[in-house]
Amino acid sequence: MTAGSCDPLAVGIDTVILQNTTGCDSLVITETVLLPGDETFLTAGSCDPLAVGVDTVILQNTTGCDSLVITETVLLPGMRPS
């Protein structure tokens, strides 16, 4: 069986030995893999010199893992800080 996790510490292979009602052993092997996060890079323009820079927002994607939205805001041409 394969499972997924956002936690790097949960990644690996787990083995569980069970015993049924007749005394026979059963073996369950589960491999846990690291689910991917997402990164999105955006560029924006502004006339406001105070708005220039890089902003990072951390969100959660559909698999529950962290996702980054990184927005770089640049000063539009012809605009100079006063």
Instruction: Provide the terminal-to-terminal Cα distance of the chain, rounded to the nearest Å.
Output: 62
80, pLDDT greater than 90: no
Residues 31 and 56 in one domain: no
Distance (Å, whole) CA 11 – CA 25: 25
Q: What is the pLDDT of residues 11-65, one digit of tens each?
A: 899 998 888 888 888 888 899 888 877 888 999 999 888 999 999 998 887 777 7
- Region 60-73: mean pLDDT is 83
| Nearest alpha carbon to residue 76 among 57, 35, 48 | 48
CB atoms within 10 A of CB 50: 7
Question: What is the predicted pLDDT for the residue at 70?
Answer: 92
Containing structural domain, residue 28: 1-35
For residue 35, the 8-state DSSP code is P
Residues 41 and 51 in one domain: yes
Residues 5 and 42 in one domain: no
